Structure 1
């Protein structure tokens, strides 16, 4: 409609139709005629836009394990990467000599999903090279062409959201609701923002100038970097794969994605959907590559001279190794590492009102979230009430697999899924036990042996009360379904507790007065804060996402995230090249005739331009004029 109004008021169109007479009668006649022509042009424009920006349909075969009734697989008693490769049923028919393999399995049931050959250094280098070759064409695509890819992906995801959610559930053990919120909703939000606002963030930008450079025009253009990489964690295989890929592609880059060994089955399927979309839209699918390897081979990616940016999502330990490897070629890195996110509950807060958000913040995805709530800091007068709320809910929470075939007596509706593996169970139990011995009150706190899924990895939803800052559990990231409730006496103490860890990713503040909440939020050492809410700073994809301290540096999401995947190039040129251009005054030209007068000219120029009052500026101008005549 804005375009239609602009056409109606276009001076050229109005002049052409209204030059015969200035009478009111003819002026009144001009308007409907101009409206007719403008509307016709508008319809043509809209039809062109729709034809060239509409989503392109594409198909991608649904994997059999995405069906809940699927049970045609071996159940692994203790599934873990290479541990079952001695079983001939899990190896390829003709394994390649000298190559290593990865097993993929459903952690909620132990069912084997597939065995994959692990990439070695040579294969990683070849994939980077293929991505680089394809990017030479992709970087010249228009924003309209890139938007069409994004719109096609968004439509496909919305139309196939249930299958995508089930694929994520099968490979991670999460519930459908956790997949809907953490995989589908967030990815749709990311795509929508890129479609609507991505071009605004990356189009050439005019910058302001100063008086001395009034005859110049300054711009910043955002050029693609080339081949960028993303090394992502396993907790959200759809979103963690698609998010850096769509951002990298829209910025004009090709992308090499290294997925976690835990989720190679689902990640391969999700990324292949993007490849099919690119092919359907007429682009080379080689611009996206998937790498899955053992840690020993990862440096072929992180230290490659052909990788121009690295986005890392994962643990602090691995993140430090990635950052160190990237220094070999000074490759820029965005690190999103661990967190120990606090939630401060201000005095007199309505606990029943906000309890559902707090519970979701702790137990979403069984606590396996970088921005999950790990510490709830509540005033001592409300501690008992909050602990009771959590205790009642935790006692009723059902855990299990939403992807298991129906069995007698088993309730398919579950609030919590499995953990990705049992590797950290003993460590979690030890931390909880130590806290208990130190005076904390514990409900849950141990591995759960599921009656129907004896080979799945389950941990009891847990609440630990009366936690204080001296306990190890208050400082170590748990990444588990464990709520820590920490009482405080003053707001100052609550802020000190919140800031008392080495992490600084996300946070939340709840309270009856929003202004008080905002005051507290501004005192927190972190990258993001939700007020009377949880984690919504990620649903708004216009915001940068990232943390401080040991939680990493750099940002993805929002304009900052897109621009970090580009080279911001400053260009300055003459506004009126035929009338005025830069020249060197003779008093400053080589060879210098007099150091004294050269200095007088330059110092006078500074006073003229930057003097603190008009008298100083005039004196500076007089000095400049005087020095200019001393040749």
Structure 2
């Protein structure tokens, strides 16, 4: 773990093994925190808050700039990317892009450090002035997922730090190593000890302790719907502020005036990025009947180009573009989804099985072929649940009315996209699709300056963008009468 600016090992003997998903081999083991360890981390954050919160926005921004500079050094970036690929499985190119995304988030919020302001009002009729002041909460906690641990760490932590809070982070047990390395880099670059602490262990146990702690003022959580509900219920007992990002089953609508080839290529790229383990990848694709066959043909051609393997060899002779799933459980779920689709009469167009890596170093990896399934019934698990892996579902629709109805027929509402050159169709998609993010002629593009979050079962609250700073600040209104 990482507490008070130093590596920290629990006195409790239990350890958590971190496995390389491409080979099934043990990489390292980390401590499994007990309540005393978590309390030590909370106390460290609380102590550091007293001085960190007294710094100006400019001073805190300067520290964040130093961290950004450290991450931009090639040796540091490559080391972090290699660790991310080793423990999470994504190709090295995607891992580098994630670390660069962290830098982008830091640079964006650093740029806000000199422009943050509060409101001022003058009422001349009764000779009074009114203004607001904003103060940091104190200690904020972040519970991270395993699919993009570094990027989502930055989404939840950087605005909290800039506004003067301190942070306690609980990474996923599948991917804790990149977060621990980031903590060391942040500290070496000038972040004061205790401002950023990391504890590893059971999400359920640690989450309950964070929710019950009077010193924790806010919790940001990214993960499954069930885990998010449990954490929210615990936090509600203590009126704790919570931001929840609980995944999605993003819909993509392809109209008959879209460029079929270009749209298909972008759909495949977005869906099979990170082996399909992305909240905002297009998991349900609805294509107008008149272009359905052409779209399927183009998708098939694009998917046939995907090579799967160890992420470290993505630039080698094999040209691998997709790594393994991050866990054996994830692989098992994909097998179950395909079997369910077969039993429902859906058509397995491409893939649908574990690739044959027998007698190779990858034979114990958690791989699954990029899979395309068509003609899936509306009641299918593949349309009702979040398919967090390399399975693309494509169904035909008669028109835009049917497409929007099918897209909205989900408990999730994170993102959705519409692909068209018709302005009126684009307007309808933007207005009628029930999602926190709607793209037109693109999908899965996320920028740090834009709010990110969903509706319905996808959670509530927003990350990124200028407005998220207010989610880490307590607002006080002052009315001054002369």
Task: Name the TM-score, length of structure 2 as normaliser.
Answer: 0.92
Q: Does 1:289 align with 2:197?
A: yes
What residue ranges of structure 1 are gaps of 5+ in the alignment?
1-59, 61-93, 578-631
Work out whether residues 543 and 558 of structure 1, in 8 Å CA contact, stay in contact via their aligned partners in 2.
Answer: yes
For residues 70-469 of structure 1, the aligned pairs below 5 Å read 99-160=13-74, 161-181=77-97, 183-200=98-115, 202-207=116-121, 214-279=126-191, 284-298=192-206, 299-403=208-312, 411-442=317-348, 443-451=350-358, 452=360, 453-469=362-378
User: Secondary structure of 1:545's match?
Assistant: coil
- Post-superposition offset of 1:245: 2.0
Q: 1:104 to 1:426 in 2, by over 3 A?
A: closer
- Verify the 8 A CA contact 1:346 1:509 in the aligned structure 2: yes
Distance 2:113 2:39 in 1: 30
CA distance in 2, matches of 1:383, 1:145: 56
Q: Which structure ranks higher in relative contact order (CA pairs < 8 Å, sequence separation ≥ 6)?
A: 2
1:10-46 per-position Cα deviation (integer Å, ceiling 9, x unaligned) = xxxxxxxxxxxxxxxxxxxxxxxxxxxxxxxxxxxxx
1:527-538 to structure 2, matched below 5 A, reads 527-536=436-445, 538=446
Secondary structure at the residue paired with 1:455?
coil
> Cα offset for 1:447?
2.2
Higher helix share: 1
Shift of 1:107: 1.0
User: How far does residue 207 in structure 1 lie from its aligned partner after superposition?
Assistant: 4.4
Quote the residue 1:15 is aligned against: none
CA contact (8 A) 2:80 2:178 kept: no
Give me the whole-angstrom Cα distance separating, in 1, the residues matched to 2:26 and 2:354: 22
- Residue in structure 2 matched with residue 8 of structure 1 by the alignment: none
Show structure 2 runs of 5+ residues with no match: none
User: Is the contact between residue 204 and residue 222 of structure 1 (CA under 8 Å) also seen in structure 2?
Assistant: yes
Q: CA deviation at 1:360?
A: 1.5
Give the CA deviation at 1:465.
1.1
Q: CA deviation at 1:195?
A: 1.6
Q: Confirm or deny: 8 A CA contact 2:257 2:422 kept in the other structure.
A: no
Give aligned pairs, total. 469
Distance in 1, matches of 2:63 and 2:240, equals 28
Distance in 1 between residues matched to 2:59 and 2:149, nearest whole Å? 26
**How does the TM-score come out when normalised to structure 1?**
0.71
Q: CA RMSD in A?
A: 2.2
Which structure has greater strand proportion? 2
Native 8 Å contact 2:91 2:311 kept in 1: yes
Larger gyration radius, structure 1 or structure 2: 1
CA shift for structure 1 position 434: 2.6
Query: Aligned in 2, Cα 1:542/1:402: closer, same or farther, shift over 3 Å?
Result: closer
Q: Which residue of 2 aligns with 1:23?
A: none
User: Alignment partner of 2:333: what SS?
Assistant: helix
Is 1:550 aligned to 2:466, yes or no?
A: no
Q: 1:208 to 1:424 in 2, by over 3 A?
A: farther
Q: Distance in 2 between matches of 1:493 and 1:362?
A: 22
- Between 428-437 and 516-525, report the one with greater CA deviation: 428-437
Q: CA deviation at 1:523?
A: 0.3
Q: CA deviation at 1:558?
A: 1.0
Mapped to 1, the partners of 2:173 and 2:455 lie a distance apart of: 27
Whether contact under 8 Å (1:275, 1:286) holds in the other structure is no
Residues 203 and 222 of structure 1 are in contact (CA less than 8 Å); yes or no, is this contact kept in structure 2?
no
- In 2, distance between residues paired with 1:125 and 1:464? 48
Q: What SS does structure 2 have at the residue aligned with 1:257?
A: strand
**What does residue range 552-571 of structure 1 map to in structure 2 within 5 Å?**
552-571=459-478
Summarize deviations over 1:411-439 as a string: whole Å, max 9, x none. Answer: 35211011111213333223223323333
Following superposition, the deviation at residue 164 of structure 1 comes to 2.4
Question: Which segment drifts farther, 323-332 or 106-115?
Answer: 106-115
d(CA) in 1 for partners of 2:318, 2:33: 38
- Distance in 1 (alpha carbons) for counterparts of 2:280 and 2:133: 33
- Partner SS state of residue 570, structure 1: strand
| Per-residue deviation, 1:479 | 0.8
CA contact (8 A) 2:90 2:322 kept: yes
Alignment of 1:571-586 (within 5 A): 571-574=478-481, 577=482
Contact 1:344 1:508 in 2 (8 A): yes
What is the deviation of 1:171? 1.2
CA shift at 1:557, angstroms? 0.8
Cα distance, 1:378 vs structure 2? 0.7
SS at match of 1:374: strand
Q: Match of 2:450, SS?
A: coil
The 3 A distance-change label for structure 1 pair 127 and 335 is same
